Amino acid sequence: MPFVTTRDGVEIFYKDWGRGRPVVFIHGWPLSGDAWQDQLKAVADAGFRGIAHDRRGHGRSTPVFDGYDFDTFADDLNDLLTSLDLRDVTLVAHSMGGGELARYIGRHGTGRVRSAVLLSAIPPLMLQGPDNPEGVPQKVFDEIKAGIVAERSQFWKDTSEGFFGANREGSRATQGNRDAFWLMAMDETIEGGVACVDAFAATDFHADLAEFDIPTLVVHGDDDQVVPFAATGAKTAELVKDAELKVYEGGSHGIALVPGDKERFNKDLLEFLAK
């Protein structure tokens, strides 16, 4: 299987499909690169090279106990891009992966990057506070961590409902969506599950977004029950110069997997890549 070894000896698994200009997909929490299989096929079929890695402690990458912070994630991404010598790259990131993308640009610049797509992404800041009243209260993050520690298998089954908006009337989310979420979540280390909550809750990406000097597409559902649009996507679209914003009416957090929204996102992504 293909792996890249990071500067600290962690093996990062990745898929590499197709030929052409590279499109690198960065998954959300608690998933793996498998979450992007539909998009990998879509871009490969359209003449691009699709690459998706498993974050450390997720999927088939090394199940380490530490390193679950955005500086480390960004440096892991840099190790992947440099090891494969990828250039003129479009980075596509979902949820927590949006923080990885933003911190990568903040730490490593855009020398290798052509454009960026932020899907249901956490920047600029998730945690509620005086300057971010639209954010998520600390109590919610504490409850998430407690749920993982108490009985993570059932916690992931329960969490899949809001992730895909399966609790909404008329939802197109399938049981297959929820089962796939559970399967990927169970491949994440329990320490990674807990530590990532602290990382994506409190990390501030304002300074990183200020370094964006590339075409950027922001896609977010207005019914995202995990990463509130008003605190994240709406603000990112204002902070990144000339960013393009697409709001999916009734869209859940799991846009790239839910039937209907998935096809719409794939179309929007391919149109953006063609520019």
Whether the full predicted model's pTM is greater than 0.85, yes or no, is yes
pLDDT band at 183, cuts 50/70/90?
very high
The residues, any chain, with a CB within 8 Å of residue 55's CB and separated by 6 or more, are 12, 26, 27, 32, 61, 73, 76, 97, 100, 192
Overall CATH class of domain 3-273: alpha beta
Q: What is the pLDDT of residue 63?
A: 98
Question: In the structure, what pLDDT confidence band is assigned to residue 178 with cuts at 50, 70 and 90?
Answer: very high
- pLDDT at position 262 is 98
pLDDT for res 254: 98
Predicted confidence at residue 100, as pLDDT, reads 98
Q: Tell me what percent of the residues of the chain surpass a pLDDT of 70.
A: 100
Residue the block writes with tokens 């996102």: 265
Mean pLDDT calculated for residue range 192-210: 98
Look at residue 138 in the predicted model and tell me its pLDDT.
98
Q: What is the pLDDT of residue 223?
A: 98
Q: What is the enclosing helix (H) or strand (E) of 92? A: strand 89-94
Active-site option among 53, 58, 94, 253: 253
pLDDT at 201 exceeding the cut of 90: yes
To the query of whether residue 253 is one of the catalytic residues in this protein, the response is: yes
For 47-78, the pLDDT digits (tens) are 999 999 999 999 999 999 999 999 999 999 99
Give me 169's structure tokens: 């009337």
Mean pLDDT, rounded, for 208-217: 98
Bridge pairing between strands 216-221 and 3-5: unpaired
Which member of 224, 252, 261, 268 is catalytic? Answer: 224
Q: What is the distance between the alpha carbons of residues 21 and 50, in angstroms, rounded to a whole number?
A: 9
How far is the C-alpha of 152 from the C-alpha of 105, rounded, in Å? 33
Give the confidence band of 39 by pLDDT, cuts at 50, 70, 90: very high
Q: Is 224 a catalytic residue?
A: yes
- Conformation bin of residue 89: beta by default, left when phi > 0, alpha when psi is -120 to 50: beta
Sorted by where each begins, the domain ranges of the chain are: 3-273
pLDDT at 12 over 90: yes
**Per-residue confidence (pLDDT) for residue 255, from 0 to 100:** 97
CA–CA distance, 1 with 128 (Å, rounded to integer):
41
218-249 pLDDT, tens digit each: 999 999 999 999 999 999 999 999 999 999 99
What residues are paired with 94 via a beta bridge?
119
Cα distances from 191 to residues 44, 57, 59, 68, 145, in angstroms, run 34, 8, 14, 9, 10
- pLDDT class of 143 with cuts at 50, 70, 90: very high
Out of 32, 61, 95, 115, pick the active-site residue: 95
Alpha helices per DSSP H over 109-203: 138-163, 175-186, 190-202
124 pLDDT above the threshold of 80: yes
